Structure 1
Amino acid sequence: MTDIDDTTAGSVAEGAHGDGLDARLVVDRGSFRLDIALRAAPGDVVALLGPNGAGKTTALRALAGLVPITGGHLRLDGTALDRTAPESRPVGVVFQDYLLFPHLSALDNVAFGPRCQGATKAEARALAATWLDRLGLAEHAGAKPRRLSGGQAQRVALARALATSPRLLLLDEPLAALDARTRLEVRARLRRHLAEFEAVAVLVTHDPLDAMVLADRLVVVEHGRVVQEGSPTEIARRPRTDYIAQLVGLNLYRGRAEGHTVRLDDGPAITTTEDLSGPVFVAFPPSAVTLHRDRPTGSSARNLWRCEVAGLETHGDQIRADLAGELPLAADLTTVAAAELDLRPGAPVWATVKATQTHAYPA
C-alpha cells in the first residue's frame, strides 16, 4: 500500500463496522496536511512509524482530541468521537515524558483518573493499588515521581492510563526517555501488558525495534500520508520507500523487471532469482555485499559494480561502508576485513552481490 487517496479512505470508512477504531484523520495546519486512515480491532496494537515531521504525533493528538480534525471521522466502538471533549473520551494517554503529577505519590497519580470518573477516594485508591501491583510497583505506591527510576515512572504512567478502563490506549514514544539498558527491560514488560490489553492500542515511535517488538501492525507515515502498512515481517521484507529501507537496514532500488534482470530507473541492472515483469523493487542487506580492491575474477556473483568509498562508520560490531559510484549502496564488513582492504574515504572498490541474496517484488 503506497498511498491512501480520498476514495480509498472513504471506502475503508464506509465498510467499517463493529468494535474497535475506525478513523480517517484529516488535519490542516498551515502548509502541512495530515490525511490518514486507521482501522484496528480490540486487542490490536498498531504502531505509527515515520521520520520527524511526518505527522505521527499530530495523528495521536487528534485521536486524543487534543488537536481537532478538519475532515474525516473518528469512531470508537461504533461511537463518533469527532466532537467529544478530550476528557470525555474513553481514551488513555501515556506521554513521552509521562507527565506524572510531581506532588502526588504513585498511588495517587494512578487514582487521579478514576477520581475524575466519579469514584470515591477509597475506591480510586483501591483500584490504583491493584494496577500498581499488576505492573510490579506495589512497593513504590507511596513514592513521589522524583524517587522513581525511568522504568518505574513509565509503568506508573501506564497504570494511570489503564486505570480508567480506556477503549483506546495511546502511547507517545513510550520508551524514548529511557536509557538503553532500562529500555530493554521495559520494552519486554510493556509488550506483555499490551498483549493483555483488550481494547485498541496505538503507539507512536521512530524506533524500528520498539515498533517491531510491540506492535502487531505497522503504519508508516511520511509527509502526512500512509506510505505502507502491514505486519512487521511484511514491512521488513518488502520496504517501499527509502525511509523504510534504511529503517530495516536494506539497500533498496526501483526499476523495471524483464525476467531475472531488473533495469534500475537511475543506475545499472541487477540480476535476481525472481522471474518478474514490470515495475519492481529490489532489496538486499548490506551484509550481502562483498568488497574487493581489484576487479574479481572467477566470482560466482552475477552483480558486479565499480564504486568508491564515500564514508565509513561503526555499525554494531561491524564497519558500514557508504559507497558511491555506479550503484550507491551500503556494505557491512568486519573490522579485520576493512583493515585488510585498507578502506578509507575515496578508495576505489569493486562490490559484488549474489543474485540469490537479492529480493525483487512488484512495485
Structure 2
Amino acid sequence: MTDIDDTTATREADVRAEGLDARLVVDRGSFRLDVSLSAAPGDVIAVLGPNGAGKTTALRALAGLVPLTGGHLRLEGRALDRTPPESRPVGVVFQDYLLFPHLSALDNVAFGPRCRGASRAEARRQAAAWLERMDLAEHAGAKPRRLSGGQAQRVALARALAIRPRLLLLDEPLAALDARTRLDVRAQLRRHLAEFEAVAVLVTHDPLDAMVLADRLVVIEHGRVVQEGAPGDIARRPRTDYIAQLVGLNLYRGHADGHSVRLDSGPAITTTDDVAGPVFVAFPPGSVTLYRERPGGSSARNLWRCEVAGLETHGDQIRADLIGELPLAADLTTVAAAELGLQPGATVWATVKAAQTHAYPA
C-alpha cells in the first residue's frame, strides 16, 4: 500500500471512530433513499439536491425522526440506529426554527439543558452564555414574535448548540430570511460553524449557502449520491445537468478525440483540453457571444445557429435560453440584448472560444 493509501485508510478509520459514519436507507412507498455520509469532527457537509431528491428525508433519518429500513448510523463509534431521537447527541435547527412561542429567547435556549438534567438556574446560566456568544444578550427576555428573522435564527442555533451536540443538523437554516438579512446571518453562521468541534450537516438548495458554509458537498438526486467533493471541485467539474445549472454552467456529454468532443446528441465542440474517450464538456453562459448575422471575422472555433427560446433577468444581466444546433444559455448585458434586438423566436449565431471550454473524463 502506498503512503497515500495509508493516509486515506487512516483518515477513514478515524472518521468511523470519531466522526459520522452513515449509510441511510429509507423506503417510503415507491421512493428509496440510499445515501452514504461520512465526516470527521469539525467537518461541515452540505447536502444539496432538487426538490424530492431526499435531502430532508436524509436529515430526518440522522435525527431519528424517520426510521432506517437498512444501512447503519454510527456517531463517534456508537450505533444510533435504534436510539430514540431525544437520546441522541444531535442538535437540529429547523427551517422555520420552531421556537416555543410562549417562552423567552433565554428559556428557549435553556430548554435543551433542562431536558438533559441541568437545574433551572444552571440551564439559564448556560443559555445566557450562548445568547451572549450570538450577540443576543439584550434580547434574552424577548418572545419569538418580537424577534427579527435573523435573531430567531440565531436563537434556534443557540438552542441546538446548548446541548453540546456531537452532530449538528441544519435544515435550510437561511431560507426564511430576506436577502439582506441572509447575507449578514450567513457570515455569522459561517463563524459559528468554524468554531464547532463536532460534525455539522447542512441541507440546502442554495448553492451559495453550500459553497460558503461547507467543507464538502454531497449532491443527491432521486435518493442517490450523484457527486461529492470540495465545493471548488464540484463547481469546476459538474457531472449532472442539475449540478451544472446549480453552479451556472452549460454542460454536455460526448466522446473526445484530442481537442474535439463529439456530443452524444448534437454537434462537436472544440476545446483546448487534449482528452480521449467519454467526457463532459462545460463552459459558462458568460463565455457565449451572440450575433444576429453569421460572423465572418470571429476567432471562435465553435459556432452554432440558434433560436431564442426565452429571456430572463439574471442578476444584472439578461440570460438568453437558446435552442437549435446546440441548446445553451448565454449571458449578456441589457444594452447588448437591446442592440441585438433579442426576442423569443429570433435567430442568432452563438460562438464560444475553445479556450473558454473545459473537457474532463465522464
TM-score bucket of the superposed structures, by smaller chain: over 0.9
Q: What do residues 296-348 of structure 1 show as CA deviations (whole Å, max 9, x unaligned)?
A: 01211000000011111111111110000000000001111111111111110
Q: Does the residue aligned with 1:276 lie in a helix, a strand or coil?
A: strand
Is the aligned partner of 1:65 residue 2:75? no
In 2, Cα distance between equivalents of 1:315 and 1:126: 48
What fraction of aligned residue pairs are identical, expressed as a percent? 86
In 1, Cα distance between equivalents of 2:200 and 2:14: 21
Is the aligned partner of 1:327 residue 2:323? no
**Superposed counterparts of 1:270-309, under 5 Å:** 270-309=269-308
> Once superposed, what is the RMSD of the aligned Cα atoms?
1.1
Q: Does the residue aligned with 2:17 lie in a helix, a strand or coil?
A: coil
Q: What do residues 184-231 of structure 1 show as CA deviations (whole Å, max 9, x unaligned)?
A: 000000000000000000010001111111101000000000000011
* Counterpart residue number, 2:152: 153
Q: Does the residue aligned with 1:18 lie in a helix, a strand or coil?
A: helix
In 2, Cα distance between equivalents of 1:318 and 1:159: 39
AA matched with 1:354: K
Q: What do residues 208-263 of structure 1 show as CA deviations (whole Å, max 9, x unaligned)?
A: 11111110100000000000001110110000000000000000000000000000
Post-superposition shift, 1:14? 8.8
Asked if the contact 2:60/2:66 (under 8 Å) is kept, the reply is yes
Post-superposition shift, 1:16? 5.7
In 2, Cα distance between equivalents of 1:209 and 1:259: 35
Q: What do residues 252-297 of structure 1 show as CA deviations (whole Å, max 9, x unaligned)?
A: 0000000000000000000000000000000000000000011001
* Counterpart residue number, 2:87: 88
In 1, Cα distance between equivalents of 2:15 and 2:137: 41
Alpha carbons of structure 1 residues 47 and 127: separation in structure 2 relative to 1, 3 Å: same
* Counterpart residue number, 2:35: 36
Post-superposition shift, 1:17? 2.8
Is the aligned partner of 1:222 residue 2:183? no
Asked if the contact 1:20/1:39 (under 8 Å) is kept, the reply is yes
In structure 2, stretches of 5+ residues that fail to align are 1-10
AA matched with 2:106: L
AA matched with 1:135: M
Q: What do residues 152-211 of structure 1 show as CA deviations (whole Å, max 9, x unaligned)?
A: 000000000000000000000000010111000000000000000000000100011111
In structure 1, stretches of 5+ residues that fail to align are 1-11
Q: Does the residue aligned with 1:266 lie in a helix, a strand or coil?
A: coil
* Counterpart residue number, 1:207: 206
AA matched with 1:65: G
In 1, Cα distance between equivalents of 2:17 and 2:115: 28
* Counterpart residue number, 1:8: none
Asked if the contact 1:13/1:24 (under 8 Å) is kept, the reply is no
TM-score by length of 2: 0.96
Q: Does the residue aligned with 1:69 lie in a helix, a strand or coil?
A: coil
In 1, Cα distance between equivalents of 2:275 and 2:133: 52
Equivalent pairs counted in the alignment come to 352
In 2, Cα distance between equivalents of 1:16 and 1:103: 40
AA matched with 2:326: L
Asked if the contact 1:13/1:22 (under 8 Å) is kept, the reply is no
Q: Does the residue aligned with 2:142 lie in a helix, a strand or coil?
A: coil
* Counterpart residue number, 2:52: 53
AA matched with 1:31: S
TM-score by length of 1: 0.96
* Counterpart residue number, 2:121: 122
